Amino acid sequence: LAGTAQTQNLGGAITGSTFYDGTDFATPWRGNYFFADYNSGRINRATLDASNNIT
């Protein structure tokens, strides 16, 4: 994902993603972009500012 900090290049593959703006989870997660990486088995998130820039 362009703009996110990567400490290692492990050949990841984003397999799914979504923006979350609901109210079922904690406020800090609202408006975030969540994406899954097949190779690492992890779910990551990118936080966005009011202009939708990755912070």
pLDDT at 34: 92
Give the largest Cα separation in the chain, rounded.
34
pLDDT at 37: 87
Residue 49, pLDDT > 60, answer yes
**Extents of the domains making up the chain:** 1-55
pLDDT at 53: 84
Express each pLDDT in 1-45 by its tens digit.
555 555 555 667 888 899 998 999 899 888 888 999 888 888 999
Rg (CA), the chain: 12
